[in-house]
Amino acid sequence: MTALWCALPALAVILVWVAFQDAIILRLITDHLPSGVRDLPRNELSLVLNDVRNLVAGNVPEASVSEAVRAASAEYVHLRGISRMALTVLVMVMAVGTILVVRSRITPELRARNRVEIVVEWLLIGCSTIAVFTTIGIVASVAFEAFRFFQHISPIDFLFGTSWSPQMAIRADQVGSSGSFGAVPLFAGTALISFIAMLIAVPIGLYSAIYLAEYAHPRFRTWAKPLLEVLAGVPTVVYGFFAALTIGPALRGWGEGLGLNVASESALAAGFVMGIMIIPFVSSLADDMISAVPQSLRDGAYALGATRSETIKQVVLRAALPGIVGGVLLAVSRAIGETMIVVMAAGLAANLTANPLEAVTTVTVQIVTLLVGDQEFDSPKTLAAFALGLVLFLVTLALNVLALHIVRKYREQYE
Amino acid sequence: MSNTNKPRRTAQETQAIVTASLRRRYWAERRFRTYGLAAIVAALTFLVYLFFVIFSNGMGAFRQSELKLDIYYDPAVIDPAGTRNPDDLHAADYQALIRAALKKKFPDVEGRAGTRELTRLVSGSAAFELQREVVKDPNLIGTTRSEWLLASDAVDLLQKGHIERALPEAERPVSDQQLGWVDRLRSEGSLDLKFNKTFLSKGDSREPEAAGIWGAVVGSFFTLALTLLLSFPIGVAAAVYLEEFARRNRWTDLIEVNINNLAAVPSIVFGLLGLAVFIGFFGLPRSAPLVGAMVLTLLTLPTIIIASRAALKSVPPSIREAALGMGASKIQMVTHHVIPLALPGMLTGTIIGMARALGESAPLLMIGMVAFIVDIPKGVTDASTVLPVQVFLWSDSPERGFVEKTSGAIIVLLAFLVVMNTTAVILRKKFERRW
Q: How confident is the model at residue B1 (pLDDT cuts 50, 70, 90)?
A: very low
CA distance B371 to B392: 11
- Judged by DSSP in three states, A149 sits in helix
Instruction: Inform me whether the C-beta atom of residue B269 falls under 8 Å from chain A C-beta atoms.
Output: yes
Provide the H-helix boundaries in B314-338: 317-325, 330-333
> Which has more pLDDT, A98 or B351?
B351
For A238-289, write each residue's pLDDT tens digit: 999 998 888 888 888 888 888 888 877 888 899 999 999 999 999 988 998 8
pLDDT higher than 60, residue B290: yes
Q: How confident is the model at residue B411 (pLDDT cuts 50, 70, 90)?
A: very high
CA distances from B54 to A117, A237, B50, B406 (A): 53, 12, 6, 9
Say if CB B294 and CB B413 are below 8 A apart: no
pLDDT higher than 90, residue A332: yes
Average pLDDT over residues B19-30: 89
pLDDT higher than 70, residue A366: yes
> Which has more pLDDT, B343 or A379?
B343
In this predicted structure, what is the pLDDT of residue A98? 73
Average pLDDT over residues B151-179: 79
What sign results for the dihedral spanned by CA atoms B285, B290, B291, B292? positive
For A165-221, write each residue's pLDDT tens digit: 776 555 555 544 456 788 888 899 999 999 999 999 999 999 999 999 989 899 998
Provide the mean pLDDT of chain B: 85
CA distances from B59 to A42, B49, B409 (A): 53, 15, 10
In this predicted structure, what is the pLDDT of residue A263? 79
Note the ipTM here. Answer: 0.86
Q: How confident is the model at residue B30 (pLDDT cuts 50, 70, 90)?
A: very high
Say if CB B146 and CB B130 are below 8 A apart: no
Residues 6 or more apart whose CB falls under 8 angstroms from that of B75 comprise B82, B141, B142
Minimum mean pLDDT among A27-31, A59-63, A228-232, B393-397: which range? A59-63
Interface probe with A: pick from B258, B333, B381, most Cβ of A within 10 Å? B258
CA distance B264 to B260: 7
Contact call for A307 and B29, based on CB within 8 A:
yes
Burial class (CB in 10 A: 0-12, 13-18, 19+), A275: buried
CA distance A81 to A244: 53
Task: Give me the amino acid identity at A74.
Answer: A
Domain at A180-414, CATH from 3.40.50.720, 1.10.3720.10, 1.20.1250.20, 2.60.40.730: 1.10.3720.10
CA distances from A257 to A251, A254, A260 (A): 10, 5, 7
In this predicted structure, what is the pLDDT of residue B4? 52
Residues of B in contact with A343 (CB under 8 A): 362, 365, 392
pLDDT higher than 60, residue B77: yes
Q: How confident is the model at residue A43 (pLDDT cuts 50, 70, 90)?
A: low
Provide the mean pLDDT of chain A: 81
Per-range mean pLDDT, top range of A249-263, B2-16, B286-300: B286-300
Task: Give me the amino acid identity at B306.
Answer: I
Beta bridge partners of B71: B145
Residue A188's φ and ψ, nearest 5 degrees, are: -65, -40
Using CA coordinates, name the residue in chain A closest to B369.
Answer: A372
In this predicted structure, what is the pLDDT of residue B417? 92
> Which has more pLDDT, A40 or B207?
B207
Q: B82: phi > 0 → left, psi -120 to 50 → alpha, else beta; which?
A: left
- Please report, for chain A, the start and end positions of each structural domain, with discontinuous segments joined by +: 2-110, 180-414
Residues of B in contact with A340 (CB under 8 A): 361-362, 388, 392
Residues of A in contact with B395 (CB under 8 A): 237, 240-241, 244-245, 344
In this predicted structure, what is the pLDDT of residue A198? 95
Contact call for A124 and B283, based on CB within 8 A:
no
CA distance B414 to B57: 14
pTM: 0.83
For B243-270, write each residue's pLDDT tens digit: 888 888 888 888 888 888 888 889 999 9
How big is the CA angle at B206 (ends B167 and B161), to the nearest 5 degrees?
Answer: 30
Task: Give me the amino acid identity at A289.
Answer: M
Using CA coordinates, name the residue in chain A closest to B332.
Answer: A117
Residues 6 or more apart whose CB falls under 8 angstroms from that of A244 comprise A265, A344, A345, B395
Provide the percentage of residues in chain B whose pLDDT is more than 70.
98
- Please report, for chain B, the start and end positions of each structural domain, with discontinuous segments joined by +: 11-59, 61-210, 214-431
Own/partner pairs, B337-342, CB within 8 angstroms, 24+ separation: B338/B240, B338/B244, B338/B312, B339/B236, B339/B240, B341/B315, B341/B433, B342/B308, B342/B311, B342/B312, B342/B314, B342/B315
CA distance B202 to B402: 15
Residues of A in contact with B413 (CB under 8 A): 235, 238
Query: Architecture of domain B214-431 in CATH?
Result: Orthogonal Bundle (1.10)
Say if CB B208 and CB B395 are below 8 A apart: no
